[in-house]
Structure 1
Amino acid sequence: MAAKPGVVQQVEAVLKKFEVVKDPFTKALKLKDEANQFFKDEHYEVAIELYSKAIELNPTVSIFYGNRSFAYLKDELYGSAVVDASKAIELEPTYIKGYYRRASANMALGKFKMALRDYEAVSKALPRDVDAKKKFDECQKIVRRIAFEKAIAVDHDQKSVAEQIDVEAIEVEAGYQGPVLGDAVTLEFMKELIATFREQGKLHKKYAYKMLLTIRKFFMSLPTMVEIDVPAGKKFTICGDIHGQYYDLLNVFELNGLPSEDNPYLFNGDFVDRGSFSVETIFTMFGFKLLYPNHFFMSRGNHESDTMNKMYGFEGEVKSKFTPQMAELFTEIFNWLPLCHLINKKILVCHGGLFKDDNVTLDDIRATSRNRQPPEEGIMCDLLWSDPQDFPGRAPSKRGVGVQFGPDVTRAFCERTGVQYIVRSHEVKPDGYEVAHNGQCITVFSAPNYCDTMGNRGAFITVRGDDLTPKFTTYEAVDHPRMKPMAYASSLFGFL
């Protein structure tokens, strides 16, 4: 995850601007101020590099580490955010923002007890601070809930959420004018659903629950690694992260055609969170999966998890548009999503990337149990969280989960498994895609102008059964209704 060329150029321009400043401390402060401006402009990678330069000049200033920790948080590099916040606290034990930022990063990593200790420290240091007390109380509720769930987990007779839902007992009000789901999803239903969602209408919860219960059973029947055969001459499309950007999803269908048996798709995880139209996105995808079960595919991403959904908005959106019970049902469904797909035995598609272990085989992936929340290590963790790096070998992930893997790791995996190349997502790219590791590791990201701020293009990949050479289509973001990203996100992410 080296700095992008454009980032390097911007950093070099700033460094040149201050070449005449000889005093290291003065130069460090000026670089920090420049970094702050890039941060305000939401150019987090540039800010991170400039804070790093300031730290090189003066490694004893807590605010340098604290500010870089904040930038890492914004860039979703939670592991690095924890390290920097801890260093800031070490240098200045009363540095309150350091505790806030470390707590936020640990929340994102699902390390709630560690986050609680920091929120407690803040609330004790600032006993009259309403925000500090609120964050401590909310985090404490999560810790207690998890403890309670563990305590009752020994009850093997406990019913799943799905088993508690009686769809037939849900009444449809006489005034409902939205799509009506009969015995099965039809193309007509899907077209009406898309039209309804486009105009910000709603699907009745009876039909929503009916879709969810059906898709849950279907996903339960699938293997961890789904194998896809694309016939000679036939097109196949691979998309990356959508992140609740529903109107950009519809634009993909405008550019490339609606899914069909002659126009199959694979969406490679992170369907929800951040974007505030995640409900519309996931029901549209589930609808097409039910309509074309053998021609529409979905891989699990790191955001198809309980912790991410609580923090980044999907749970809050489901509760707002439907019910808390439905949010719990989505958690059960996401646990059954396949972790990866193998196309024509030559293209491995997974959300994150490759593994800490040199010897992982395709059979090891097939044998991986997936009906759970993502663990902190192992095959499932790496498939959902890992990232490529430019240099050989492996390195700890700046995200705090998974691993960074080099071109030699990718090459060895491809040689060992007979795979031609891997396709993964998980990272914003300026052009919506990036080809790395001598063509053996391709990233595709399909959410343009990510979070309405990044300015990136989106992309999708097409291949043909007799020609697996990837072809890239890029596109700009389209307009959407005035609803800001993260509108339903947890208040625990109100970073300071």
Structure 2
Amino acid sequence: MGCSHSVHNETKKSEKAMKAAVLIQNWYRCYKARLELRRRQALNIFENIEYADEQDQMQLAKFFTFMLEHYVKNKSSADNLPKIFNPEPKQKSDQETIISLIEVPDTYYGPRLKFPLTFADVVLLIDAFKENQILHARYVLEVLLEAKKILQQMPNIIHISSTVSKELTICGDIHGKLDDLFLIFYKNGLPSGNNRYVFNGDFVDRGQNSMEVLMVLFSFLLVYPNDIYLNRGNHEDYLMNMRYGFTREIMQKYKQHGAKILHLLEEVYTWLPIGTLIDKKVLVIHGGIADNTDLNVLEQMKRNRIITVFSASNYYEEGSNRGAYLKLSHDTTPRFFQYQSSQITQAKTLHERVDIVENAAFRILGERMISRKTNLIQAFQKYDPNDTGKISLSDWAKATEEVLELHLPWMSLCPRLVKTIEDGYVLYNMGFKDLPVVRAPKVAKAGMVETLVRYRSDLKIIFNIIDKDQSGLISMDEFRAMWKLFCSHYNIDIEESHVDQVAYSMDLNKDGSIDFNEFLTAFDVVHRATNKL
């Protein structure tokens, strides 16, 4: 009897332990699911704002056209235009001769390249970049020049065939993330005659090592021109580089020869193929269609088999996403591989990693709302005819989408963005909850502050163009001219005397020039430090 009773107790204990284990497992699964939902919501915010920013890039291009047309009428003004508005005539001197005149000093301890390049040279280059060495400007220019020669011989669409003996790896956007590129090579092997690669554009911008990424890819192209294929992306573009960081990276790393590199790089961009066609079945292209695209082709496309490959991990924020590449066998069946290059977040919990991504997403969304605050208030008031200061949650969501046009789930985002009350109404006049606040000179009016926040990225590009040597300084007169032309193009009504007041207030040391860092400090979105969810 005693033995039977003991067995019964043990059985009950086992059952309780099993139920407890199942309960904990279910709780953990729900916990992870909630975190994953938050992470995906944050990514949705990032992606929609990025898309809207890239649409704004088209407006910026129109502004540059306006600038050019404006200055054509005035010869003296045109002489003072930055190079992008007033291109200099091409030098008669041969590019190779110019490059050969650039001396590499004995004090340079980085890799010394000899052309034609070999596989060993590229390995040497990779090892140097792993040690954070910077390739000398002469070798950068030589790699770009030799790459241009090869690219000029290529058609718009590269046709390749899959074979049993040669696998083909397709990589998406790298965006200057050298760690991701090296991780791909570590997992998948270096490019070679038996290990072919297609890199589908957006090699540069955003990441801090765009030049190194570009040098590695172009160097492999020089060694294996028939086994590595580079398509052009929308970031292989001068204006995109001005906006998203590659131009500044070049000027910071290559101050003396930065302009030469940018000029040659712009030529190289124009010769990159626009796509790769594999076995006449698989088209690898960065994206977008032209106005003369054959719509019949699109009608017949099996869209459930169009695949998007993005190879930059931690793209928006550390821990925000994984990168991926795919491999095609001879029967064009894709196999997918994911990875994540992570150093900062390795010691953080899953909850902490999601918090980092989510908080960053709401910061940039907050900037967007601050920049359109006046328009938002006006839109809210349309749903509040009695001026009560409150509207329904659904009306708040509709008004916010009308103004921001970001196609986000505003009703679910609302509690993180504004103050609400229990009956489901939003107190829109009480300001935004836990959103960035704007700090600006006392002389700045609210309308100008919102305008500066709204167009900050565009103004930064224009500032960088005027600041030819990337010193971070422009003259007061240049700032006034830039701002007045900008207001003229975007139909912004701000008095010239007020612009002068603001410019004078930003010149803190009164030396007659403006530091863009001070400009961003004077008119910037300052994020509130908070650990709240």
2:86 is matched with which residue: 125, 141, 148? 148
Is the helix fraction higher in 1 or 2? 2
Q: Does 1:340 align with 2:308?
A: no
CA drift at 1:164? 7.4
- SS, match of residue 111 in structure 1: helix
Q: Give the distance between the partners of 1:78 and 1:348, measured in 2 at CA.
A: 27
TM-score of the superposition, structure 1-length normalised?
Answer: 0.55
- Kept in 1, the 8 Å contact 2:162–2:168? The answer is yes
1:492 is matched with which residue: 460, 463, 474? 460
CA drift at 1:146? 4.2
Q: Give the distance between the partners of 1:161 and 1:479, measured in 2 at CA.
A: 47
Q: Does 1:447 align with 2:447?
A: no
Say which is worse superposed, 448-457 or 263-272, in terms of deviation. 448-457
Q: Does 1:251 align with 2:115?
A: no
CA drift at 1:453? 4.4
Superposed CA RMSD in Å reads 3.7
- SS, match of residue 220 in structure 2: helix
Partner amino acid for 1:175? T
- Kept in 1, the 8 Å contact 2:192–2:224? The answer is yes
The aligned residue for residue 148 of structure 2 is: 216
CA drift at 1:207? 1.6
Q: 1:229 to 1:79 in 2, by over 3 A?
A: closer
CA drift at 1:359? 2.1
Instruction: Select the structure of larger CA radius of gyration.
Output: 2
2:241 is matched with which residue: 290, 298, 309? 309
CA drift at 1:243? 0.2
Q: 1:253 to 1:115 in 2, by over 3 A?
A: farther
Q: Does 1:320 align with 2:186?
A: no
Partner amino acid for 2:133? G
Q: Give the distance between the partners of 1:168 and 1:345, measured in 2 at CA.
A: 42
Q: Does 1:463 align with 2:328?
A: yes
- SS, match of residue 293 in structure 1: coil
Q: 1:491 to 1:148 in 2, by over 3 A?
A: closer
Q: Does 1:167 align with 2:99?
A: yes
The aligned residue for residue 294 of structure 1 is: 226
Q: Does 1:438 align with 2:268?
A: no
Provide structure 2 residue ranges, at least 5 long, that are not aligned to the other structure: 1-32, 68-77, 346-456, 462-519, 526-533
Q: Give the distance between the partners of 1:491 and 1:283, measured in 2 at CA.
A: 30
Q: Give the distance between the partners of 2:93 and 2:267, measured in 1 at CA.
A: 8
- SS, match of residue 264 in structure 1: strand
CA drift at 1:325? 1.5
CA drift at 1:232? 2.9
- SS, match of residue 326 in structure 1: helix
- Kept in 1, the 8 Å contact 2:318–2:342? The answer is no
Q: 1:106 to 1:349 in 2, by over 3 A?
A: closer
Q: Give the distance between the partners of 1:313 and 1:167, measured in 2 at CA.
A: 25
The aligned residue for residue 188 of structure 1 is: 120
CA drift at 1:108? 6.8
TM-score of the superposition, structure 2-length normalised?
Answer: 0.52
Q: Give the distance between the partners of 1:147 and 1:115, measured in 2 at CA.
A: 10
- SS, match of residue 267 in structure 1: strand
Q: Deviations over 1:119-173 (max 9, x none)?
A: xxxxxxxxxxxxxxxxxxxxx9997644423xx6xx6xx3489737522222121
The aligned residue for residue 206 of structure 1 is: 138
Q: Does 1:349 align with 2:284?
A: yes
- Kept in 1, the 8 Å contact 2:64–2:85? The answer is no
- SS, match of residue 473 in structure 1: strand
Q: Give the distance between the partners of 1:114 and 1:217, measured in 2 at CA.
A: 30
- SS, match of residue 328 in structure 2: strand
Q: Deviations over 1:374-432 (max 9, x none)?
A: xxxxxxxxxxxxxxxxxxxxxxxxxxxxxxxxxxx7452x4xxxxxx7xxxxxxxxxxx
Q: Give the distance between the partners of 1:490 and 1:194, measured in 2 at CA.
A: 35
Q: Give the distance between the partners of 1:470 and 1:209, measured in 2 at CA.
A: 37
What does residue range 59-208 of structure 1 map to in structure 2 within 5 Å? 72=48, 74-78=49-53, 105-106=56-57, 109-113=60-64, 145-149=83-87, 158-159=90-91, 163=95, 166-208=98-140
Q: 1:106 to 1:209 in 2, by over 3 A?
A: closer
- Kept in 2, the 8 Å contact 1:319–1:326? The answer is no
Partner amino acid for 1:265? Y
Provide structure 1 residue ranges, at least 5 long, that are not aligned to the other structure: 1-8, 14-37, 48-70, 81-104, 117-139, 362-408, 415-420, 422-436, 482-488
Q: 1:295 to 1:164 in 2, by over 3 A?
A: closer
Partner amino acid for 2:127? A
- Kept in 2, the 8 Å contact 1:161–1:329? The answer is no
Q: Give the distance between the partners of 2:215 and 2:54, measured in 1 at CA.
A: 32
CA drift at 1:110? 1.9
Q: 1:161 to 1:280 in 2, by over 3 A?
A: farther
2:343 is matched with which residue: 479, 486, 493? 479
Q: 1:79 to 1:336 in 2, by over 3 A?
A: closer
- Kept in 1, the 8 Å contact 2:168–2:328? The answer is yes
Q: 1:410 to 1:277 in 2, by over 3 A?
A: same
Q: Give the distance between the partners of 1:248 and 1:212, measured in 2 at CA.
A: 22
Partner amino acid for 1:199? E
Q: Give the distance between the partners of 2:111 and 2:318, measured in 1 at CA.
A: 33
- SS, match of residue 192 in structure 1: helix
Give me the identity figure in percent.
35
The aligned residue for residue 242 of structure 1 is: 174
Q: Give the distance between the partners of 1:165 and 1:175, measured in 2 at CA.
A: 23
Partner amino acid for 2:44? E
Q: Deviations over 1:49-108 (max 9, x none)?
A: xxxxxxxxxxxxxxxxxxxxxx95x4232377xxxxxxxxxxxxxxxxxxxxxxxx3577
- Kept in 2, the 8 Å contact 1:316–1:490? The answer is no
Partner amino acid for 1:191? V
Q: Does 1:43 align with 2:42?
A: yes
The aligned residue for residue 488 of structure 2 is: none
Q: Give the distance between the partners of 1:476 and 1:253, measured in 2 at CA.
A: 13
Q: 1:192 to 1:146 in 2, by over 3 A?
A: closer
Q: Give the distance between the partners of 1:248 and 1:160, measured in 2 at CA.
A: 40
- SS, match of residue 352 in structure 1: coil
Q: Deviations over 1:279-309 (max 9, x none)?
A: 1100010010001100011000000011101
The aligned residue for residue 5 of structure 2 is: none
- Kept in 2, the 8 Å contact 1:161–1:328? The answer is no
The aligned residue for residue 509 of structure 2 is: none
Partner amino acid for 2:224? Y
Q: Give the distance between the partners of 1:148 and 1:334, measured in 2 at CA.
A: 20
The aligned residue for residue 89 of structure 1 is: none
What does residue range 52-63 of structure 1 map to in structure 2 within 5 Å? none
Q: Give the distance between the partners of 2:341 and 2:240, measured in 1 at CA.
A: 24
- Kept in 2, the 8 Å contact 1:178–1:204? The answer is yes
Partner amino acid for 2:304? N
Partner amino acid for 1:148? N
Q: Give the distance between the partners of 1:142 and 1:320, measured in 2 at CA.
A: 24
